[in-house]
Amino acid sequence: MYEEPYRWVEAVGNRRQYLDDQLRQGSPVVALSYAEGTVLLTFSKGTPKLYEIYDRIGLAGMGHPADLEKLRFTLLDMAHMEGFQRSPGDVTGSRLVKYGLAPVIKQAFEEIFRAPFIIKILLAELGAKPEQDHFLTVDYDGAFEETPGWAVLGATPEIQRHMMAYVKSQIPQPPPTLQVSVETALQTWAIGSLHQTQEELKPDEPNKSGPATTVQNDPAFDETKILDHLRDTLSEKTLECAVLERNAPGSSKYRSLSPEETRSLLPTVLQEVR
Amino acid sequence: MGAQGDFLQLLHEHGYKLDFFPSHASGVTDPNLSLITRGTTVLAMKYGDGVLVAGDRRATAGNTVMYDRTDKVLELDRYCVMAIAGVPATAFEMARILEHSFKYFRRSQLQDLSFEGKLRALSNLLKENVPAALAGTGAVAPVFAGFDPQQGCGKIYFYDILGAEFEGVEHAVSGSGSPTIRGILHYLNRWGDRPLATLDEEQAIIIVLRLLTSAAEFDSATGGVNYEANLYPIVKRITDKGVQNISSEQLKDLFATQVAHYV
């Protein structure tokens, strides 16, 4: 039945719907540059979502944990073979995504007799200076985007737009400290998560073709609402935070922060939440 | 796919072979083998804070000095080093494989490879290298030293070219200059002022510098200190803080006051 082109297009369209449904509940991810490195942040329900890929590359994922594991191994194998056979400097996020990850995800997405990856992926790559930090996101259909400074993953493109607009309005120059970045990342996460809840409440009227979102006209941007939401989430889920540190000794720059260290970086009003 | 976290297996799946010299005429020794570059004197010694590992800088091929700036004490990860003696081409390759193996294991399995696991990894590489070692083209006899964060103590191991592993309880040596200093280490530890394991860092560095200077005195394949070029041995300390280099300024100071002009 899929031999006819329009059937194939229809089948791919169905897949989009299926994948959007599957990812609706996923926890957003935020990655930002700060003066001394880059930070990755998300909330999880037990299964970790932030991982080390190579000396200067960290991974964050949203979606099915088994798919994330499979793609994580693809990246690890490619990065380590490349780093060994050429040099660690030749392992870049851009090459991993363009020649490793994106084609695999795209192929699985379009081969309609195979299961697609239920996944969205973010790679953070540490540069020598903040302006050289590099972020890449890959969608479930293999489409990728590269950005300097920051990147986010949200359940839908619309939610991602809200999150991006918020980060953009918050990033100070010169690049902030880790503590300030963690606060911005938390708020961005909350904005994504609040929008997600809203969309869940009215899934039939997705606001996909409105005017470009700005922080001013974003109804989710209400400090009290954000704080309340973060307070609730902190008591229910695990806050996961990892950094790539520019000045870390040795070649491996990735480090996941311990729960105590993460807590000490939270804004004072949130530190008491248990 | 390396779901077991085994980097060597991943290399094999990609067609890589450590034993890279193509033919081994077993039992036949090629007279030209003496022209293959070889490493020289390395040692590891426990002291008060952990382990000191040191090596001279010379690489030779027969009577030719190939290079006088070799670094034979190779950092494998934050907590352990491999000091190499033997054919550098193979030894550097082994160090690179190990460095990647430890990282690959940690990143894929989400836990550090245990100290014993690291020792086993080196043994496996040496075992795989046996044909080249026996043919004379790839013999390596390394010293492995590190700090075991789980047990909170420094540890030293040394290997023969076939991969047998021995623990050096107080110290270990390898390379052509090692017979000279092995006896001195034993003597100092047994009848010196204090056992080596109780020395402070400066005293331990002084001993290491004197030992390497003695090795260079009696072994032409071991390089001594070269003042003009400001070339000192590589000395690294391994403690609970990880592997750190002893700066060449400190070595220069101690060498001038405690080794060169000491009566």
Which of B10, B78, B110 lies at the smallest CB-CB distance from A250? B78
What is the structure's pLDDT at A113?
86
pLDDT digits (tens, 9 = 90+) for A159-218: 999 999 999 998 888 889 999 999 999 999 999 999 998 887 765 555 544 445 555 556
What is the structure's pLDDT at A140?
97
What is the structure's pLDDT at B135?
85
Domain that holds residue B253: 37-260
ipTM: 0.90
Question: For tokens 């390497």, what's the residue?
Answer: B212
Sort out which chain A residues have CB atoms less than 8 A from B81's CB and list them.
Answer: none
What is the distance in angstroms between the Cα of B187 and the nearest Cα belonging to chain A? 36
**Is the residue at B16 inside a domain?**
no
> Sheet of A57-63: strands edge to edge?
A50-54, A57-63, A119-125, A134-138, A144-148
**Is the residue at B32 inside a domain?**
no
What is the distance in angstroms between the Cα of A62 and the nearest Cα belonging to chain B? 18
Is B245 a residue whose pLDDT tops 60? yes
Of A182, A257, A188, A175, the closest CA to residue A229 belongs to A188
Domain count across chain B: 1
pLDDT digits (tens, 9 = 90+) for B187-236: 999 999 999 999 999 999 999 999 999 999 999 899 988 878 889 999 99
Q: Contact B73/B81 with Cβ under 8 angstroms?
A: yes
**Is the residue at B7 inside a domain?**
no
Q: Which of B103, B109, B147, B236 to mutate to test the interface with A (most CBs of A within 10 A)?
A: B103
Which of B2, B78, B242 lies at the smallest CB-CB distance from A77? B2
User: Residue B60 and residue A189: Cα distance in Å, rounded?
Assistant: 60
Residue B226 DSSP code: B
Q: Which of A68, A72, A77 to mutate to test the interface with B (most CBs of B within 10 A)?
A: A77
SS3 B91: helix
> Sheet of B143-148: strands edge to edge?
B73-77, B80-83, B143-148, B153-159, B165-167
Of B247, B167, B168, B176, the closest CA to residue B205 belongs to B247
What is the structure's pLDDT at A209?
46
What is the structure's pLDDT at B222?
92
What is the structure's pLDDT at A161?
94
What is the structure's pLDDT at B33?
61
- Please tell me which residue, B63 or B29, carries the higher pLDDT value: B63
Average pLDDT over chain B reads: 90
Q: 10-residue block means of pLDDT along chain A (274 residues)?
A: 75 92 94 96 93 98 96 97 96 96 96 93 96 96 95 95 92 88 95 89 55 56 88 93 94 94 91 74
Q: Contact B108/B5 with Cβ under 8 angstroms?
A: yes
What is the structure's pLDDT at B20?
60
Q: How confident is the model at residue B36 (pLDDT cuts 50, 70, 90)?
A: low
Instruction: Using the Cα atoms of residue A143, residue A147, residue A151 and residue A154 in order, give the sign of their dihedral.
Output: negative
Residue type at B183 in one-letter notation: G
* Chain B: residues touching A (Cβ < 8 Å): 1-3, 7, 10-11, 14, 75, 77-78, 96-97, 100, 103-104, 106-108, 110, 242
Counting Cα atoms < 13 Å in the Cβ hemisphere of A150 gives 28
CATH number of the domain where residue B42 is located: 3.60.20.10
**Is the residue at B13 inside a domain?**
no
Is B1 a residue whose pLDDT tops 80? no
Domains of chain A: 5-259 (3.60.20.10)
Sort out which chain A residues have CB atoms less than 8 A from B242's CB and list them.
Answer: 249-250
What is the distance in angstroms between the Cα of B149 and the nearest Cα belonging to chain A? 17
Q: How confident is the model at residue B184 (pLDDT cuts 50, 70, 90)?
A: very high
Please answer yes or no on whether B1 and A51 come within 8 Å at the CB atom.
Answer: no
Q: Contact A123/A103 with Cβ under 8 angstroms?
A: no
Please answer yes or no on whether B107 and A52 come within 8 Å at the CB atom.
Answer: yes
pLDDT digits (tens, 9 = 90+) for B11-23: 999 999 887 655 5
Please answer yes or no on whether B2 and A83 come within 8 Å at the CB atom.
Answer: no
The answer to whether B40 is a known catalytic residue is yes
**Is the residue at B188 inside a domain?**
yes
Residue B119: CB atoms within 10 Å: 19
- Please tell me which residue, B107 or B68, carries the higher pLDDT value: B107
Q: Contact A15/A106 with Cβ under 8 angstroms?
A: no
